[in-house]
Amino acid sequence: MTTPPPTDTSHNDGGAASAAAQPKSHDVQRRERDERTAALVARLRECSDPTEDASIRHELIAINLPLARLLARRYRHRGESQDDLEQVACVGLTEAAHRFDPVLAHSFHSFCVPTILGGLRRHFRDRGWTVRPPRSMQELQHATHRAQAELERQLDRSPTIGELATHLDRDPEDITEALTLHSCYSPLRLDLPVGPERDAPTLGELLPGGNAESGAVEARVMLASAVRSLSERDKRIVQLRFFHGLTQREIAEDIGVTQMQVSRLIARILNDLRRSLGPLEEPPTQLAAPRQPGRPDPSPQRPRHQPPNNPPDPRTDPRTDPRTDPRTVRAWAATQRIVIPPRGRIPKRVWAQYEAAC
């Protein structure tokens, strides 16, 4: 009787070993994590020893650390480092494990996942903004992103600004501002090159400096619409006087009028521009100091050069009208090349010329 040859099991043993060495799939790992978590929750529900309770909760944290890292990866590419996000998620997992009540909740995951996501959202709300926008715009940004995803599923394309505004019942300007808030997370660097060329200028080189030209940009923008409302002759006078620096006599020769008429025209043009710009903000009034009891209310001081019973002279008292301030008249006379003694009285003819120009 012949004995059968021995079976070679080396191939089968090698196959089993190689199969055991292969990494488990994500579904298998998640199933095992759920089973171990459910078993720990069942033990925690029947546990009465505080030391064993703390040990079980620490084991819950260790088993579900991959879940916390997976939730943190949802918020990548938003200006925060992945390590910081995972740390925030782990802190949320720890809080959920210590607050979890096995009597009230049957599933640990249904309790810890909202806790972790809430911690991540609070992190972005409180610390993720480099430039912090108002809370209303933050809420509108979240609503816009949700509406954008919903409309993309319905329309099979990216929705327009008008469609988002109609869906959320908001103005298109608000939707546009909310969509641009992503730059508040991670603003552009000043050393970022503008263009693909190697010698392209950086963003910081294109920004205006702190010179007088950049400070006058706002004034030019405000005056642009007011100047457009002027007539052609008034625009010509403004250009010759304030851009080319011509004198009133040279302007008079250019447009064919007298120098006095040019002075009146310039004053009228400036008044028109002031009315177009609107009223200027008045400086805040200074509150009077409270009167101390037992002391009389001090009377306002009068100028020494005027008797107390005489009314103030409009040509010498600047409190009646700012246009009759002698300092204003002297400054106007200097522009007209009219010589007035520094300490002498202003001649009547100069007053007459000034009043005619005004």
Find all residues with CB under 8 Å of 184, minimum gap 6, and list them. Answer: 129, 130, 131, 132, 133
Given CA atoms 177, 182, 186, 187 in this order, what sign does their dihedral have? negative
- The full set of domain ranges for the chain reads 26-127, 135-184, 223-274+323-336+347-358
- The number of C-alpha atoms within 13 Å of 203 and in the hemisphere containing its C-beta is 6
Q: Which of 80, 77, 74, 85 is nearest to 128 (CA)?
A: 80
pLDDT in tens, the chain (358 residues): 445 555 444 445 555 444 444 556 677 888 888 888 888 888 888 888 889 989 999 999 999 999 999 999 888 877 678 888 999 999 999 999 999 988 887 788 888 999 999 998 888 777 766 667 787 887 888 889 889 989 999 988 989 999 999 999 999 988 988 888 766 666 677 777 877 777 778 877 777 665 555 556 667 777 888 888 889 999 999 899 888 888 999 999 998 889 899 999 999 998 888 888 776 554 444 444 455 555 555 544 544 444 445 544 544 444 445 556 677 777 777 777 676 766 667 777 777 777 777 6
Fold of 135-184: Arc Repressor Mutant, subunit A (1.10.10)
Domain 223-274+323-336+347-358 falls under CATH 1.10.10: yes
By residue count, the chain amounts to 358
Threshold 0.85, pTM exceeds: no
CB within 8 Å of 240: residues ≥ 6 apart:
246, 250, 251, 254
197 SS3 class: coil
3-state secondary structure of 130: coil
* Cα dihedral 226, 231, 233, 234 in deg (nearest 10): -30
Question: What's the CATH fold of domain 26-127?
Answer: Rna Polymerase Sigma Factor; Chain: A (1.10.1740)
